Amino acid sequence: VYTAPPYAFTSKPSTINVLEGEDASIVCAVQGKPEYFPMLWLNESFVIGMNKMLYDTKDRVTLDGTRDGNIDIFTLSITNIELLDEGDFECQLPGRFKLRQKHSLIVNIPPQITSDPDAQSSFDREIGEDILLECPATGKPEPVVTWKRLDNFPIQRQETVEGQSLFLSNLTEFENGKYICFASNGFGQDKTREFEINVNFEPKVMTPSNWVHTGPGHSVRLECTFSGNPSVQSIWQYEGDDINVN
């Protein structure tokens, strides 16, 4: 014949997400517990304390207990959380019914871009060459790294690219510009790093028309658009002679 225990947990099992370096508290509350019954705390199946007494000598861990009516509230607190603190914690009432409740502590680490901040970030290339930009990132959970252009143009026909490296092949003048990588894992602030690509290419001249019709005594406007990298110096000539254009 099943006999229900005369006491029960009023707290619920939980999963606690915390950033490395922050503090965390785990609470187990029991209603109707006999005063002489101890509350055991376990970490990964090892007993670390009882009631307010801590067996572990870690100065970052404390145990506390209070009573509110017929409800006993037990708290395990950890300060300055480290990755090694991650795991399952269990509060347990020994005796005939041996009630237990598990809480999971998950330690998260904000993203970091691990490349040397003084590493090269501006690159010169020629038309048709390739380039590899790298944005190594760490964190927990593993960060997602995305790439964009600062001018919001697509990256070789892609709005965004994911991955800790960006490979651009067969460069053209359209790859000229600034690029940025974002490292994000949902915890802390995103980390970013900027790059600049300078693709050298021969000067180009574009005109609305090669012919302009006018007449004697009329003014005329001639237009030429120049492009090139490095920047183009323009010179106007008339029948082989340079013209001073202000």
Q: In the predicted model, what is the mean pLDDT of residues 29-50?
A: 88
Per-residue model confidence (pLDDT) at position 216: 86
Coil vs helix vs strand at 173: helix
DSSP notation for 25-87? EEEEEEES--TTPPPEEEETTEEEEETTEESS--TTEEEEEEEETTEEEEEEEESS--GGG-E
pLDDT, greater one: 36 or 170: 170
Q: What is the rounded distance in angstroms from the CA atom of residue 3 to the CA atom of residue 24?
A: 36
**Taking a C-beta distance cutoff of 8 angstroms, is the pair 41, 90 a contact?**
yes
Per-residue model confidence (pLDDT) at position 95: 74
136-166 pLDDT, tens digit each = 999 999 999 999 999 999 998 888 899 999 9
**Taking a C-beta distance cutoff of 8 angstroms, is the pair 234, 242 a contact?**
no
Per-residue model confidence (pLDDT) at position 57: 63
